[in-house]
Amino acid sequence: MDWNFRSAGELAAALRAGEVSSVELTEAAIAAIERDEGVINAICVSDFDRARAAARHADQEFRRGEDRPLLGIPVTVKESYNMAGMPTTWGMPEFRDFVPAEDAVQVSRLKAAGAVVLGKTNVPLGLQDIQSFNDIYGTTNNPWDHGRTSGGSSGGSAAALASGFGALSIGSDLAGSLRTPAHFCGVYAHKPTLGLAANRGMVPPSEPALPVELDLAVVGPMARAARDLTLLLDVMAGPDPLTFGVAHHVTLPPARHERLRDFRVLVLDEHPLIPTGSAVRAGVNRVADALVDGGARVERHSPLLPDLTEAATLYTQLLFSGSVARFPVEAYEQLRTRAAGLSAHDRSLDAARLRGMVCSHRDWIEVNNRRELHRHGWRQLFGEFDAVVCPITPTPAFPHDHNPDLLERRLDIDGVEYAYFDQLVWAGLATMCGLPATAIPAGRSSEGLPVGVQLIGPLFEDRTTLRLAELLEQRIGGFQAPE
């Protein structure tokens, strides 16, 4: 039996039943990495010695009758998380030798839950791309087509899962960095509600690991099965023990429904600012058909939906408002000059990016106020619907593009080119207001590439989209190993 492609839930059951040992699972995963890593390049830093020791310890615990949620299960960790004794570089050459002294909160929680950490997964330079490559660790390839990207910035984690390198992984998401790689590689991911999972230690190597509350950015689980997302989210959820954790514990509400026919779902496949490619549209419709066949109430339009154009503009400004904070003064002044030259009538996303880079605190507060109106609009929408189904990006995985000027890159959508960063509008739909979103496989394109969609849900009702993901997995299937 090939344990490497079994779900974490299946592995946990087999471990508890004594059908397999953690040492056997760990050795099988290491063998797969050593065999296939040369063409995938997902595991940028291995930690096999400590993994083997952790597996032996897990087996001893099982023999003593002890148990923990992830006991003995091989997992990976995104390179951007601090792990004591291992480099954390974020792909930046100047920090090639940086080794943190302490584990990130989520690494500590993985270990406390009994997981066996195999190593760290590759990322883009500074986590600032929809692809995963850097000058330290090279390029991570898509397991389905090595000439294409695995996505970013959690692209190494998605590629590792699709290749059978561990049953679970933890990543992060600011601009679709969990959801896009899952979509490109045919696996599952969940972007939690903003603030649900503590992020301390998922920090650039130039900065101290402080318990700060981030805007937009979250940490979250990745897996090969829908139910595994809940298993890992239950380990990750909860405030930082240094701040809100002093006084608060998290108790997420149950899913709104257990049966597919009880769900009310809004399905979107069109955005006013960028077209949806035929392969992704087919994936959205495949999910919509499964919902209808299962008896769910499905709508394609709602007057309660916040304006998608304004949502994309606000998200773009918020996203880029922090991107130039450490730019040299001269470069920042050049951006200010360019922004001042924009026409007041220019409402393009390019203009929003530039305005965001140089927005004042006063401007940011106004954008944030508009965001709160959108957040209220989502509350009203989720009074009528339980979830929204929509694309993650307009296309499946695209060919590697390492043009250093990201603004010059173009995305091909059914033969027509669009600005590279415009594809972020779908990911930003959930991110801007901090909503939970679950990425699920939704079939394959005519070229055989995975296609995923996202299920967006109400704030702090993460279990609703996670349960819907499980029900859809039963109807349309889920992860398939690359051929």
Residues 316-360 pLDDT 10s? 999 999 877 777 888 889 999 999 999 989 989 999 999 999 999
pLDDT score of 400 more than 80: yes
Q: How many CB atoms lie within 10 A of CB 451?
A: 26
pLDDT score of 378 more than 60: yes
Q: Return the biggest CA–CA distance within the chain.
A: 71
pLDDT of residue 476: 97
Residues 37-52 pLDDT 10s? 999 999 999 999 999 9
Residues 91-132 pLDDT 10s? 999 999 999 999 999 999 999 999 999 999 999 999 999 999
Query: Sign (positive/negative) of CA torsion 355, 360, 361, 363?
Result: negative
- Amino acid at the residue 312: A
What does the alpha-carbon distance between residue 188 and residue 120 come to, in Å, rounded to a whole number?
A: 18
* pLDDT average, residue stretch 144-170: 98
Query: Sign (positive/negative) of CA torsion 114, 115, 119, 123?
Result: negative
Tell me the C-alpha to C-alpha distance, in Å, between residue 247 and each of 192, 235, 238, 240.
Answer: 21, 19, 11, 10
Residue 428: burial class (beta carbons within 10 Å; 0-12, 13-18, 19+): buried
Residue that has been written with the tokens 């001042």 in this structure:
340
3-state DSSP call for residue 469? helix
Q: If you ran DSSP here, which 8-state letter would residue 197 be given? A: B
* pLDDT average, residue stretch 420-426: 97
With contact defined as beta carbons under 8 Å apart, do 391 and 453 qualify? Answer: yes
pLDDT of residue 328: 82
* pLDDT average, residue stretch 198-218: 95
With contact defined as beta carbons under 8 Å apart, do 154 and 123 qualify? Answer: yes
Residues 237-293 pLDDT 10s? 999 999 999 999 999 999 999 999 999 999 999 999 999 999 999 999 999 999 999
Of all residues in the chain, the percent with pLDDT exceeding 90 is 95
CA dihedral 259, 261, 264, 265 (to 10 degrees): 90
pLDDT of residue 190: 99
Pairing, β 416-419 against β 43-46: unpaired
Query: Sign (positive/negative) of CA torsion 203, 126, 375, 435?
Result: negative
Whose CA is closest to 150, among 161, 138, 160, 142? 142
- Amino acid at the residue 148: R
pLDDT of residue 206: 82
Whose CA is closest to 294, among 256, 258, 261? 261
pLDDT of residue 322: 81
Q: Mean pLDDT score of the chain, rounded to an integer?
A: 97
pLDDT of residue 239: 97
* pLDDT average, residue stretch 73-77: 98
The angle subtended at Cα 303 by Cα 298 and Cα 309, nearest 5°, is 105
Predicted structure pTM score: 0.98
What does the alpha-carbon distance between residue 334 and residue 406 come to, in Å, rounded to a whole number?
A: 18
Q: How many CB atoms lie within 10 A of CB 137?
A: 23
3-state DSSP call for residue 188? strand
pLDDT score of 1 more than 60: no
Give the least confident one: 71-75, 88-92, 347-351: 347-351
What does the alpha-carbon distance between residue 302 and residue 385 come to, in Å, rounded to a whole number?
A: 10
